[in-house]
């Protein structure tokens, strides 16, 4: 009840604050204005050598203001919520607008697009944990992980954290919307040694509801297991072979797709998927969509950064690109309608098959299982893909030995067409929901 009362007070305060900002913008002559307010508070603890290493408390506030004078716009940001600071920020935004060029695509969303009747989504479940209890959990995680195998020499970091947040958006068309959320996290990163070889790996769990977190013992076990399994890593010869991206790394493949169909990339001609609407880019069985209203999901949101209602868009169906991901501005630049994706997608999901990871390994037979990607070698303009990787070599559907110091390369256009199957081992620890993905073939650069 105490937390609820505090939240009501915070919401009331931020709603009043947003209206003061909009009124000040109107007083200074702005035709339209919008304000985005975020407020987060929480703490994070880390343990090492059986003792607390750091305790960090956070209470962050951010306010982003945009004003429009006709087709000219100006923006400012601040974290100081005192009245003088707010007035100065609004004045700064108005001053900037006087010097910008006119942009026909600028301005608020149309009134009929705004989420005046947005849904209430369950995204709040405070974790009643004290700092002392969090420290005890972190120390327990480290202790159990170190006891798993004598080759584990140390814990690089063990972290337990919790955040309660609130996001509010309002504009001069009369829209005001907000939603609270929570996010809880525990992670363990370890270092193992055998002879002169050292390897590092870990595991983490994150959720909006602490009841959905994996247990500390499970985090410790998986972190330890993953770390010792990497010992004895080898390089493999350069070759072409089938590849499986484990679910947490398969997110990156879909993340590149999401970036390539984002409005900003498209109107700047900075995507290999420009002019690809209604063209086939994946095999027939692939369906990619978003689920913005999933309760307790990390990517859920009732409205986007423009205040437009989010909706369950289908981006790929039957392997064909059906629509782009657009906010109001990018939609206008492209002569289209917003899809409610200003600020990104919400729980982007790829339809899975019926195989778990062991079954996918059997289906692949011989090839590379990728468990970690390194580097940023993705060119969205050309689709060129080249990144460092590590994982395991697979023969006869069984893992044989760990692999490191390799690079996998291809073009995203070809990689997407060569998706063979999507596993049902969906990783829900993020805004992209996918299982492991098997690709028919990639170039692997090794020794």
How does pLDDT run across 207-228, given as a tens digit for each residue?
999 999 999 999 999 999 999 9
Report pLDDT for 8: 60
The length of the chain, given as a count of residues: 447
Report pLDDT for 376: 86
Q: Please, which residues have CB within 8 angstroms of residue 144's CB and are 6 or more apart in sequence?
A: 216, 217, 220, 221, 224
Report pLDDT for 71: 96
The dihedral sign for the CA sequence 326, 330, 331, 334: negative
**pLDDT above 60: residue 1:** no
Q: Which stretch of DSSP H or E encloses residue 317?
A: strand 314-317
For residues 266 and 326, give the distance between their C-alpha atoms in angstroms, rounded to a whole number: 10
Q: 211 is written with which tokens?
A: 């009841």
DSSP string, 263-294: HHHHHTT-STTTT-TT-B-S-TT--EEE-TT-
**pLDDT above 70: residue 2:** no
**pLDDT above 60: residue 113:** yes
For 56, 166, 207, 319, the CA distances from 12, given in Å and listed in that order, are 27, 12, 27, 46
**pLDDT above 60: residue 46:** yes
**pLDDT above 60: residue 168:** yes
Q: Which residues pair with 384 in a beta bridge?
A: 411
Q: What pTM was computed for the model? A: 0.94
> Which candidate, 44, 162, 175, places its Cα nearest to that of 115?
175
Residue 101: other Cβ atoms inside 10 A: 8
For residues 242 and 310, give the distance between their C-alpha atoms in angstroms, rounded to a whole number: 37
Q: What are phi and psi of 153, to 5 degrees?
A: -90, -25
Q: How confident is the model at residue 111 (pLDDT cuts 50, 70, 90)?
A: very high
**pLDDT above 80: residue 9:** no
CB 24 within 8 A of CB 90: yes
Q: How confident is the model at residue 6 (pLDDT cuts 50, 70, 90)?
A: low
Q: Please, which residues have CB within 8 angstroms of residue 26's CB and are 6 or more apart in sequence?
A: 33, 172
Q: What are the pLDDT digits (tens) for 225-249?
A: 999 999 999 999 999 999 999 999 9
**pLDDT above 50: residue 297:** yes
For residues 325-348, average pLDDT: 98
For residues 144-168, average pLDDT: 96
Report pLDDT for 3: 58
Percent of the chain with pLDDT over 90: 96
**pLDDT above 60: residue 5:** no
Q: How confident is the model at residue 10 (pLDDT cuts 50, 70, 90)?
A: confident
Q: Which residues pair with 325 in a beta bridge?
A: 262
Give the chain's mean pLDDT: 96
Q: What are the pLDDT digits (tens) for 125-137?
A: 999 999 999 999 9
For residues 363-392, average pLDDT: 96
* More confident site: 8 or 155: 155
Q: How many CA within 13 A on the CB side of residue 311?
A: 15
Sorted by where each starts, the structural domains of the chain and their CATH numbers stand as 2-229 (3.30.2290.10), 233-447 (no CATH)
Q: How confident is the model at residue 78 (pLDDT cuts 50, 70, 90)?
A: very high
Q: Which stretch of 49-53, 277-281, 331-335, 431-435 has the lowest confidence by average pLDDT? A: 49-53
Q: What are the pLDDT digits (tens) for 171-192?
A: 999 999 999 999 999 999 999 9
CB 252 within 8 A of CB 376: no
**pLDDT above 50: residue 415:** yes
For residues 400-424, average pLDDT: 97
Q: How confident is the model at residue 4 (pLDDT cuts 50, 70, 90)?
A: very low
Percent of the chain with pLDDT over 70: 98
């Amino acid at each position: 009840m105490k937390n609820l009362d505090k939240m009501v007070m915070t919401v009331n305060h931020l709603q009043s604050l947003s209206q003061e900002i909009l009124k000040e913008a109107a007083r200074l002559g702005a035709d339209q204005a919008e304000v985005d307010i975020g407020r987060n508070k929480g703490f994070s603890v880390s343990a090492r050598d059986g003792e607390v290493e750091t305790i960090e408390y956070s209470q962050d506030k951010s306010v982003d203001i945009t004003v429009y004078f006709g087709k000219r716009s100006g923006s400012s940001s601040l974290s100081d919520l005192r009245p003088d600071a707010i007035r100065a920020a609004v004045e700064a935004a108005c001053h900037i607008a006087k010097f910008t060029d006119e942009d026909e695509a600028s301005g608020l969303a149309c009134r009929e697009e705004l989420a005046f009747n947005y849904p209430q989504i369950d995204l709040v479940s405070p974790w009643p944990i004290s700092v002392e209890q969090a420290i005890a959990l972190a120390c327990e995680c480290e202790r159990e992980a170190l006891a798993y195998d004598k080759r584990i020499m140390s814990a690089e970091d063990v972290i337990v954290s919790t955040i309660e947040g609130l996001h509010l958006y309002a504009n001069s068309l009369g829209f005001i919307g907000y939603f609270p959320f929570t996010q809880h996290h525990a992670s363990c990163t370890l270092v193992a040694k055998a002879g002169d070889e050292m390897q590092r790996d870990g595991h983490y769990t994150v959720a909006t509801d602490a009841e959905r977190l994996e247990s500390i013992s499970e985090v410790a076990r998986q972190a330890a297991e993953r770390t010792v399994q990497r010992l004895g890593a080898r390089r493999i010869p350069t070759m072409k072979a089938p590849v499986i991206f484990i679910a947490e790394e398969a997110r990156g493949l879909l993340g590149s797709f999401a970036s390539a169909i984002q409005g900003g990339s498209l109107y700047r001609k900075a995507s290999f998927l420009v002019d690809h609407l209604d063209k086939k880019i994946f095999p027939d069985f692939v369906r990619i969509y978003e689920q913005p209203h999933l309760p307790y999901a990390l990517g859920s949101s009732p409205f986007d950064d423009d205040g437009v209602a989010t909706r369950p868009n289908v981006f790929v169906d039957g392997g064909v690109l059906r629509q782009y991901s657009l906010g109001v501005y990018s939609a206008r630049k492209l002569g289209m309608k917003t899809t409610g994706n200003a600020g990104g997608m919400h729980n982007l999901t790829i339809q899975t098959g019926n195989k778990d990871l062991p079954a996918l390994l059997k289906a692949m037979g011989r090839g590379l299982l990728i468990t970690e990607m390194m580097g940023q070698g993705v060119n969205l303009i050309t689709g060129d893909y080249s990144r460092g990787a590590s994982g395991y070599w697979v023969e006869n559907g069984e893992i044989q030995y760990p692999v490191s110091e390799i690079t996998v390369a291809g073009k995203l256009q070809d990689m997407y067409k060569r998706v063979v199957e999507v596993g049902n081992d969906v990783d829900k620890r993020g805004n992209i929901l996918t299982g492991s993905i098997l690709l028919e073939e990639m170039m692997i650069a090794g020794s």
